A and B are shown apart, each in its own frame.
Chain A
Amino acid sequence: MADKIGVFICTGYGIAEALDIDALRKVATDEYKVPFCKLVDSCEGADLEAIVENIRSEGLTKVVIAGISPRCYSASAFPGSVIVEKVALREHVVWCQPAGHEDTQMLAEDYLRMYIAKVQKMELPEPFHPEEMIDKSILVVGGGIAGMTAALGAAKAGYSVQLVEKTDRLGGWLARQHKSVPRKPPYVELEDTGVDDLIGQVEGNPRINVHTSATTSRIAGAPGLFDVTLESTGNGRPAGDVLDTFRVGAVVQATGWRATDPRDTLPYGKLKDVIRNVDLEEMVKEQGRITRPSDGKDVKSIAFIQCGGSRKKEHHSYCSSICCLTSLKQAVYLRRSDDEAKAYIFYEFMRTPGQYEDFYRSVQADPGVFLTRGEVTEVTRDGDGKLVVTARNTMPGEQIHVKVDLVVLAAGMQPNSADGEAIRALEDARVVVTAGESETQRKEAAEKVARLKRHEGTAILNLTYRQGPDLPTLQYGFPDSHFICFPFETRRTGIYAAGCVRQPMDGLGSMEDGAGAALKAIQCVEMISRGEAVHPRAGDTSYPDFLLQRCTQCKRCTEECPFGVLNEDEKGTPLLWATRCRRCGICLGACPERIVSFKDYSVSIVGAMIKAVHVPDEDEEKPRVLAFLCENDALPALDLAGQHRLRYNPFVRVIPVRCLGSVASNWVVEAMSAGYDGVIMIGCKYGDDYQCHFIKGSELAATRSENIGEKLEQMAMESERVELHQLDISEYDRLPKIFDDFMEVIEEHGMNPFKGM
C-alpha cells in the first residue's frame, strides 16, 4: 500500500516560544509536501492519544513527531504497523540553543528535514523466520553442578535438554567432594553435597537426554538451528566414534574448571606429603580418613597454605574465591577425626564473604584450628619425616615454624574454556606460513604460530563459526562479555557460559549460574522464534540484508562482526545466519560496497538524512558539522546536556546510530562532498574496560576513522576534519566542549571547499 507520511509538531515545552512554528511547518508541508501536518500542544498523555487517533483516522503509515526525546515514549503507545520517528526538538534544540535565534531555527528545521527524509526511506521490518522450524531444546555441555542445574532447570520449565558430559558419570567436582560448606542458616554445619539426589533427578527427568563419555565434536548452524554431533571420549565406545547427532536451539557451556598445578610456586611434587586441596578432598571422599601419602599413617596435623596457585602474579592474578572456605571445611574434617589434631591455616586475606563469615567464626572457635595471616617461605622435611613449615609476618611472630604431618596447598581454579578466536588465528597463521606471499609475511606468521601454539587442540564446543570453534574469551580465559550488568552475555548469540568456566565461584553461585544461563537459553529460543533480536537490541525485528551480487569477498564483514554472525563460503562470500545477529549494524559499517542494509537502518536512509540538511554557502559563514552519536550512551548524554540547559554549537547536526561500528565510511565521504565542514563521531569507551554494548563497535570505528582520514586527504581535505571521541553516558557535560573544540579545528582549516558544488 502507498505510504502516507504525517508530521506532528509540538508547540508546548517552550517550543513555540523558541521557534517560528509556521516556518517549521512549511518545511513539512511545502518542502516535503507531506500530506498531513498538524500542530499539537504536546505529545504525551491525552495529546498523544489524540495523535494516535489521528494516525488511525488519517491512515498514516509513517509519522514524524517533532517534540520530545524518543526516550520519553513507550513503544506500546503506537500501532505496530506504523513507522514513528521522534525529533527531540526540546532536548536537542530548545533547551540548548537561544530562543528565537536564526541558527536555532535552522537547526530545528534541519532536524525536521532529516527525519522526514528518514521515514521516507524507512520500511517496516518483517521478523525473520527461517524456513525450518526453530528448535527450542537446549544443549548443556558439562555435567557438573552448574550443568546439571541448568539441565534440570530448563527441563522443569518445559524444555527438552541434551546434557553432554565428557567423563563416564555426572557430578563433576561436586561428586568428588566429601561435604559442602554450609549454605543454609545458621551457616555453621557442613552439609551433604546432595550430588546423588541431583544426578538422580537429572537422570530421572524424561525431558533430559544424558550423554556421558561424550564431547561435542561439531556444532553447526545458529540459534534455533544448532546441529550438534557428539563424539565418544573413548569410554566404552572407541574414541572419536560419532555417538549421536541432534538439533538444539541454544547452548549452555558449563565446562567447569581444573585445579592449577602449583609446582613452580611451592614444593608440590617435590615432597610426597605436600598435596593439593582437591587431592585431600578426594582422599576423604574415598577413604573417609586423612593419611600421609608417604607412609599411610593417620594425619594428626595439617598446614593449609592458601593461594597455593591463585593470586600469584606468575600464576593468575585472580582469586579463586572458594579456597578459604575449602580449607576451613577441610580443617573441620581433620578436627572431627581426632580431638588432639591440629590444623594450621596460613592466609594473606581470609575471604569468607556474606554469611560465610559465620562458618569462619564457627571453625575459628575450635581450639585445634590455628589461623594466621602470613607468607609461607619454606616447607622442608625434618629428621623425623615430618614437615616443617616456615612462615613470615605471622600474627604470633615475625617468623614461625610449625611441624606437621601434611601440607595442603589451596590450588586455584582454571576455567575449562578455549579461546575460539585464538584457535582460528592460529589456523589462519598456519596457512600464511606455507602460502604467504612475502618472506616477511611468512616470518611474522611463524612467530604468531609460536605465540598461539598453546591453543592448539583446546577446542571444546567445536562451533563451525568463521571466527573460531569456541566462545572468545576475555581476561584469564573467562568467556563473558559484560560481566557486571549482563553477566550471561557472550559474544556468540544463543551460547551462554555458566559456572566456574565463567568466573570462579562457590557451589551456590554455580547453581544460580546454571539456572540463569538456562533462562537466557530459553529466552533466546523464544525470542528468535518470534523473529526478535536478543540483548541488547531486545525485540528488534529488523535484520541485515546482503545484496550479494555486488559483494567483492573482501571479508571485512565476516571478520569484523563481533558475534560471528557471518560464515564464508570457500570464495569468501558471507553467509548470513540471521538468528545469530544482534542488529548492531557493524557489518553495514564494515562493507565498502554498501551492500548491507536493514529495512529501517541503511546506507541510503542515513544518506538521505545527511543530504536533507541545508548546507549554507561558504560566504554565509555558517559551517555545518555532522555528528554520529551512539544511541546507547552518547545520545542519552546529549538529552542530559539539554536537560541541564548546556549551550553548545548550533552548527552541529546529530544523527543517532545503532553503534559507532555501524558508521559507513562513505557516509563521511558523502557528507564532505555535500559540503559539511567536518564529521565527528561519539561512541562508547573501548579498550580492556570497554563499555560498547557490541563489544568492539567503537574500537572498530576508531580504526576505520584513520582510513577515512586518508580518504579525505585523497579528496584534498584535511584528515583533521574527522574526529572520534569516547564518551560515557554520564559525561554529558563534556559534549559542549567537544563540539566547540571541533569547531575551532574547523575554523583553522576554513570552510569545506566542496560547498555548493
Chain B
Amino acid sequence: MAKGDKTVETADRTSREKQEAGALVSPPAALADSRDGQPGWIDPDMDFIRVLSRQSGDSLKKCIQCGTCSAICELSPDPKPFPRKEMAWAVWGMKDRLLKDPDVWLCHQCNDCSTRCPRGARPGDVLAAIRQQSVARYAVPRFLARWANEPYCVPLLLGIPIALLTVVLYIGNSLGVPQPSRERIIFPFCNKLPHWLLNVSFAVVGILVLAAVVAGAMRFWRAMMIADGRDGAALPAKSPPARIVAALKIAVPVLWSIIAHDDFAKCTKTRLRFYSHLSVLFGFLALSLVAVWVVTAKVNPLIPDGLIYPFGFWHPWKLLANLGGVAILAGCLWMVVDRVRDNEHSGAFSDWTLIVTLLAVVVTGFIAEILHFVRLEPHRHVAYFTHLVFVLTLLMYLPYSKLAHIVYRTTALIYAEYSGRNGKNTARTAGREEES
C-alpha cells in the first residue's frame, strides 16, 4: 500500500488519461453515465437500473452471479458466455457497456435461463429490456423509440397514421370540402380510393423507414466495433466489389440460419415458440413481398399493362397474401397462448403491442377482404381503411417497436459472425442427446 500523497497523484494522472481516452471512444450519449464506458471505471446509472427493473418485472437485482443462466443457455458460446455477465453489468447499471454488447441480441428469449434461475432474476426478460433500451438508443429519431414503449403514447401513435391516411384520402379526393353528413364524408373518397396516392405515400414512408433502419443499424455496428476496440477496422478485402463479396460471405449464411430458425430450434423450454415465430416470420415475408409488389405495380415491368386491382381470389398473389395472413394469424395466436400459459413470463408491453398490431393487421385485412367480396357498402371501405391504418402503424414504427429486432438482431448476428464471437458448443451435445 503506497503512501497517501504519492498514490493520490498517480490516481489522478491515470484517471485523467482514462478521461481523455474515454472522450475519444465513448459516443456523446455515453457522457451521461460519466466514466462508464472507459475500461473499468464504474458509476452505476441508477435510472437505467430502475428502467430495466421496471421493464423486466423488478427481478434483475436478485442476481447472485451463480452462472446457471449462462450454463443452461443453448445459444451461449462457451467463452465469455451470456447472460450472466450481462446480468452483472445490468445490476451495476453499466448502461454504456450493455448497449454496445452484441450478445444481448444473440438471445432469443426462450427463457430457459429464467425458469432455472435460483433467484428468480429472469435474465431472459432482463435481456429483452436491455434490447429495448438499445433500440431506444440507436433509433433515428430517438423520441419515436421512447414513445413506442410508453403505454400512454398509444393513442398518439395510432393517431399519426390515422391522420396521415385521412389527409392522403382527403387530398386524393376530388371534392375538397368536408360534407356535413357522416355518410357523405366517408362515401365520396371511398367509392374511388386514390390508390396511386396511397401507394406513393406508403412508398415514401417505406423509404423513410428504410433510412431510419439503416441509420440505426450503422450506429449499432459502430458502437459494437468501438466496444471491441475494432474502431476503423474494416473488412479485409480492398476493392469495393470484393468487399461486398466478403460481406455477403458473412451475411448470407447468417440470414439463412435466421430464416431456418436454427437458434430457435435449440431452445429446450418449448418447441411452440419455434413454430409460432417461424410461421409469423414467413407470413410477414409473404405479405411484405405482396405489399411491395402492389405498391410498385404501376411501375413494375413484371406486370404487363398495369394490373387489374384488386386481384381475383384465385390470383396467385392473392393466394400468397392470404396464406401469409393465415400464417401470421396462427403464429400470433400461438404466441398469445404461450404467453398466457406461462403466467411468470407474460411478456412485456412492447411484446404485446407487436403481437396485437400484427393480429390487427391480418384480422382487419381478412374482414376487409370478405366484405369486399360480398360488396357490403360502405363497411368494406371502413374495414379497408382500418386495415391500412394498422399496416401503416406496423410499417412506420418498425425501427422503434419490438419489430426493430429484425434489424438489430440481424446486425448483431452478422457482427458476431464477423467478429468470430459465434463460437459453437460441441462438448455439450453428448449431454443433450441423452436429455431428449
Contacts and interface: CB of A to CB of B under 8 A. Distances in A.
Binding between chains A and B: yes
Interface of A: 266-267, 270-271, 340, 342, 350, 361, 364-370, 372-373, 378-383, 388, 395-403
Given A270-B4, A382-B15, A396-B94, A403 B40 contact: no
Which 8 interchain pairs have the tightest Cβ spacing?
A380-B7, A380-B11, A395-B88, A396-B92, A381-B8, A383-B12, A367-B49, A396-B88
Given A267-B1, A380-B8, A395-B65, A370 B92 contact: yes
A398 B119 CA distance: 24
A132 B4 CA distance: 66
Contact of A382 (B11, B39, B65, B119): B11
Max chain B Cβ within 10 angstroms of own Cβ: one of A373, A379, A381: A381
A400 B49 contact: no
22 contacts: A342-B44, A342-B46, A366-B61, A367-B53, A369-B61, A370-B92, A372-B65, A378-B1, A379-B1, A382-B8, A382-B15, A383-B11, A383-B12, A395-B65, A395-B88, A396-B42, A396-B91, A397-B40, A400-B41, A400-B42, A401-B40, A401-B41
Contacts of A367: 46, 49-50, 53, 61, 93
B195 interface: no
B64 interface: yes
Contact of B7 (A266, A373, A381): A381
Contacts of B344: none
Contacts of B89: 396
B436 interface: no
Interface in B1-58: 1-4, 7-8, 10-12, 15, 39-44, 46, 49-50, 53, 58
B269 interface: no
Interface centre among A364, A368, A401 (most CB of B within 10 A): A401
Interface string B59-77: 0011011000000000000
Interface string B243-278: 000000000000000000000000000000000000
A383 B3 CA distance: 15
A271 B1 CA distance: 11
B145 to A, nearest CB: 23
Contact of A403 (B43, B50, B58, B64): B43
A388 B11 contact: yes
A383 B46 CA distance: 24
Contacts of B93: 367
B61 A365 contact: yes
A491 B59 CA distance: 52
B65 A266 contact: no
Given A365-B62, A382-B12, A396-B92, A370 B44 contact: yes
B91 A266 contact: no
Contact of B11 (A350, A366, A381, A400): A381
Nearest to B16: A383
Contacts of B10: 380
A226 to B, nearest CB: 48
Contacts of A381: 4, 7-8, 11
Contacts of B88: 372, 395-396
A559 B395 CA distance: 95
A594 to B, nearest CB: 63
Contacts of A267: 1, 4
A346 to B, nearest CB: 12
A364 B40 CA distance: 22
Contacts of B58: 365
Interface string B90-113: 011110000000000000000000
Contacts of A398: 40
Given A364-B64, A365-B61, A396-B42, 6 more contacts: A270-B4, A365-B58, A370-B92, A380-B8, A395-B85, A396-B92
Interface size class of B (residues with CB under 8 A): 20 to 34
A499 B94 CA distance: 43
Given A361-B119, A380-B8, A382-B11, A368 B46 contact: yes
Contacts of B92: 370, 372, 395-396
Nearest to B46: A367
Nearest to B65: A395
B400 to A, nearest CB: 26
Given A266-B1, A397-B40, A364 B8 contact: no
A402 B43 contact: yes
Interface in B173-230: none
A188 to B, nearest CB: 13
A576 B184 CA distance: 121
B133 to A, nearest CB: 15
A267 B58 CA distance: 37
Contacts of A271: 4
Nearest to A340: B46
B91 A370 contact: yes
A401 B42 contact: yes
Given A381-B7, A396-B88, A388 B50 contact: no
Contacts of A402: 42-43
B132 to A, nearest CB: 18
B433 to A, nearest CB: 33
A747 to B, nearest CB: 59
B33 to A, nearest CB: 13
Contacts of A350: 64
Contact of A399 (B15, B40, B46, B119): B40
Contacts of B119: 361
B62 A364 contact: yes
Contacts of A270: 1, 3-4
Contact of B65 (A368, A373, A388): A373
A366 B10 CA distance: 34
Contacts of A340: 46
Nearest to B8: A381
Contacts of A369: 61
Contacts of B43: 402-403
Contacts of A400: 40-42
Nearest to B94: A396
Nearest to B58: A365
A342 B44 CA distance: 8
A401 B61 CA distance: 21
Q: Which of B10, B15, B53, B92 has the most CB of A within 10 A?
A: B92
Contacts of B39: 397
A40 B41 CA distance: 87
A267 B43 CA distance: 23
A321 to B, nearest CB: 20
Interface centre among B2, B7, B85, B88 (most CB of A within 10 A): B7
A266 B39 CA distance: 25
Nearest to B49: A367
Contacts of B41: 400-401
B103 to A, nearest CB: 15
Nearest to A360: B64
A9 B39 CA distance: 87
A558 to B, nearest CB: 50
Interface in B112-148: 119
Given A382-B15, A383-B8, A388-B11, A361 B62 contact: yes
Contacts of A401: 15, 40-42
A374 B302 CA distance: 66
A350 B46 CA distance: 23
A391 to B, nearest CB: 9
A730 B183 CA distance: 100
A271 B92 CA distance: 26
Nearest to B91: A370
A405 to B, nearest CB: 13
Nearest to B13: A383
Nearest to A266: B1
A630 B3 CA distance: 60
A382 to B, nearest CB: 5
A129 to B, nearest CB: 61
